Amino acid sequence: MNMVEKTRPYWPAQLPAELSYLQGEKTLVAYLEHHGKTNPSAIAYIFYGAEITWGTLLENVNRFSRYLGAKGVKKGSCVALYLQNCPQYIIAHFAIQKLGGVVVPLNPMFKENELAYYLEEAPIEGIIAGSEGYPHVKKAIEKTRPLSFIVTTTYEAFLPEQTNWKFPEEFLFPKQTFPDTDDFHEILQSELPYEKNEALDLWNDVGLMVFTSGTTGRPKGALLTYGNALFKTAATVQANGMSDQEILMASAPLCHIAGMVMGLNTPVYTGRPCVLFTRFDPIATVAAIETYAVSFWYSIAPMNWSILQLPGIAEKNLSSLKTNLATSFGVQVTKELAESWRSVTKGCALYEASYGLSETHTCDTFMPQEQIKFGSCGIPIYETAIRIVDHETGREQPAGKHGEIVVKSPGVFKGYLNRPEATAETLKDGWVHTGDIGYLDEDGYLYFLGRVKEMIKSSGYSIFPEDVEALLNLHPAIRQSAVIGVPDPIKGEVIKAFVVLHDGQRDNLTAADLIQWAKETMAAYKYPRYVEIIDQLPATSSGKVLRKLLKEE
């Protein structure tokens, strides 16, 4: 790979100047196989008390790979994961990639209309789903097209028979059999391990399709290579000074690119054990740090805040925790929060994790631990160049001057699936034009200020206005809709919808009715918390809705 030249006035003296790979340039599946064969009895993941070794993890990946191969999955095949955080997610992810397939993560909060959109947008051949999500999958398929295979699983399959850890009750279901699905656990028991590896071009073959808005529009499939994943994982590990003795913890969603890097790729790359939670729980998080001597955690700032509010937290022994990368959503990573966290943990450093986006496999920056600047996103990570350009002219801006953030690195995606125009708009000469506004200071630290695009951030989730509007417009009484983000003290932003009803419907529906309908048909983070019924949406002469005017009002 060619190095991207860049000026690094604030590069930490204790960090190597160049990036090196722990086992060389090869797929993360190959890293997993190395751990499974050379250190099979070492712990890979701890899931609510269940300890899964690298040897067991590799065997399960190989068994599931054989099943997938028999179903026709091969190099380039797209397979969707519609699961909560669980061992099955990790097994399926690497089993797909062992065959050269493309993992398509889908948020387990999606419902039938959202799933239907993705089935129409991408050539998904099969799906692995939690039993609780199967009814949505079934209805989405009925609206769109059949799949070659469906695998369902219950999370109890990997829970220990006896445990002191409380699994989220809403995800506990008795084992169910569906006439058109195969059971994940039965596959692992019946299939023989598949040992062969697909020959892959690390830097050109696509291993991941993450849906994102790009600069505008409904979600599009961003195509990321096996090399993109390896590079960003290696760069993040080395830049953050992770040692070969770390104990990791993961509670952010694996279906999100940041959660994937920290909770899935990083343990597999480093071979270090990871405590995996299906979702964040402050009491369980504290107990895990104490029980397993967790040393490294990636969190969302509201998680840290909620732990600090626990009664008696000062008496807990959290001293094993040494590094805590955090993302500001709703609650900002401030110096005050960091000092409170350092006090409670007896010395753990808390700082902003990074700036990044799906099109670059995230983690484009990192925060030097000895040179933290609160309010910034840190400096460009290894082999990464970041520029600030005038959004209209493309002219590079000097330090301190606002403009559009553009990024170039070995993590940059290949483009959007079947969207050449959108790809050309975003990817220019290897530079990703992010649609985000920010500036670089004199030391090269990046400051993120907002978005040119109208994407809404709520509780850490990216919400695309066009996506919510398309879902709202499925309501038979709604003629037209527009949504914006409005401030929320906890979530950062929540959705407000403006709707125009068909003639004669205004007396039949209330805003509360529409909110309830949306709650039942959309992911929990996405449905509008506020609805205003209006007579007409502000629009240009060409009919483009002016959300900016709605926001100003």
Q: What is the pLDDT of residues 118-133, one digit of tens each?
A: 999 999 999 999 999 9
Q: What percent of the chain has pLDDT over 90?
A: 79
Q: Given pLDDT bands bounded at 50, 70 and 90, which one contains residue 214?
A: low
Element (H or E) spanning 283, and its range?
A: helix 282-292
CB atoms closer than 10 angstroms to residue 516:
13
Q: What are phi and psi of 15, to 5 degrees?
A: -95, 140
Lowest mean pLDDT among 222-236, 407-421, 536-550: 536-550
Q: Given pLDDT bands bounded at 50, 70 and 90, which one contains residue 452?
A: low
Mean pLDDT to the nearest integer, 284-302: 96
d(CA 453, CA 466): 11
Task: Return the SS3 of 123.
Answer: coil
Q: Kindly tell me if the per-residue pLDDT of 330 is higher than 90.
A: no
Q: Which amino acid would we find at residue 94?
A: F
Q: Which residues contact 179 (CB under 8 A, 6 or more apart)?
A: none
Q: What is the DSSP string of 411-447?
A: T---EETT-HHHHHHHEETTEEEEEEEEEE-TT--EE
Helices (H) and strands (E) in the chain, counts: 16, 27
* pLDDT for the residue numbered 163: 87
- C-alpha 58: how far from chain center: 23
Q: Kindly tell me if the per-residue pLDDT of 6 is higher than 60.
A: no
Is the pLDDT higher at 435 or at 150? 150
* pLDDT for the residue numbered 388: 97
Q: Which residues contact 159 (CB under 8 A, 6 or more apart)?
A: 47, 48, 49, 50, 167
Q: Kindly tell me if the per-residue pLDDT of 415 is higher than 90.
A: yes
Q: In 284-363, where do the E strands start and end?
A: 296-300, 323-327, 349-352
d(CA 484, CA 469): 10
Tokens of 257: 């690119």
Mean pLDDT to the nearest integer, 71-79: 98
Contact in structure between 348 and 342 (CB atoms under 8 Å): yes
d(CA 223, CA 212): 10
Q: Kindly tell me if the per-residue pLDDT of 320 is higher than 50.
A: yes
**DSSP state at residue 193:** P
* pLDDT for the residue numbered 9: 73
Q: Given pLDDT bands bounded at 50, 70 and 90, which one contains residue 462?
A: confident
- Determine if the pTM surpasses 0.75: yes
Write out pLDDT tens, residues 23-45.
Answer: 999 999 999 999 999 999 999 99
Q: In 100-205, where do the E strands start and end?
A: 102-105, 124-130, 149-153, 182-183
Contact in structure between 164 and 49 (CB atoms under 8 Å): yes
* pLDDT for the residue numbered 1: 40
Mean pLDDT to the nearest integer, 490-496: 92
**Domain coordinates in residue numbering, the chain:** 456-552
Element (H or E) spanning 497, and its range?
A: strand 492-501
Which parts of 433-523 fold into alpha helices (H)? 465-472, 511-521
Strands 124-130 and 102-105: unpaired
Q: Which residues contact 297 (CB under 8 A, 6 or more apart)?
A: 248, 249, 289, 321, 323, 324, 325
Q: Given pLDDT bands bounded at 50, 70 and 90, which one contains residue 2?
A: very low
311 sits in the region (left: phi over 0; alpha: psi -120 to 50; else beta) called beta
Q: Which residues contact 132 (CB under 8 A, 6 or more apart)?
A: 170, 171, 173
* pLDDT for the residue numbered 465: 82
d(CA 187, CA 359): 34
d(CA 282, CA 289): 11
Q: Kindly tell me if the per-residue pLDDT of 268 is higher than 70.
A: yes
Give the CA count within 13 Å in the CB-facing half-sphere of 428: 9
* pLDDT for the residue numbered 379: 97
Write out pLDDT tens, residues 197-210.
Answer: 899 999 999 999 99
**DSSP state at residue 18:** S
Q: Kindly tell me if the per-residue pLDDT of 3 is higher than 60.
A: no
Q: Kindly tell me if the per-residue pLDDT of 512 is higher than 70.
A: yes
The domain made up of 456-552 is a member of CATH 3.30.300.30: yes
Write out pLDDT tens, residues 235-249.
Answer: 999 999 999 999 999
What are the b/e assignments for 4-13, b being 16+ CB within 10 Å?
bebeeeebbe
Contact in structure between 194 and 69 (CB atoms under 8 Å): yes
Q: Kindly tell me if the per-residue pLDDT of 5 is higher than 70.
A: no
Q: Which amino acid would we find at residue 166?
A: K
Q: Given pLDDT bands bounded at 50, 70 and 90, which one contains residue 57?
A: very high
Contact in structure between 350 and 341 (CB atoms under 8 Å): yes
Task: Return the SS3 of 324.
Answer: strand
Mean pLDDT to the nearest integer, 8-18: 88
Residue among 390, 387, 381, 393 nearest 432 (CA): 387
CA dihedral of residues 300, 32, 228, 129 (deg, nearest 10)? -60
* pLDDT for the residue numbered 447: 94
Mean pLDDT, the chain, whole residue set: 93
Residue among 401, 367, 352, 335 nearest 10 (CA): 367
Tokens of 253: 């969603």
Q: Which residues contact 515 (CB under 8 A, 6 or more apart)?
A: 527, 528, 529, 530, 531
* pLDDT for the residue numbered 162: 86
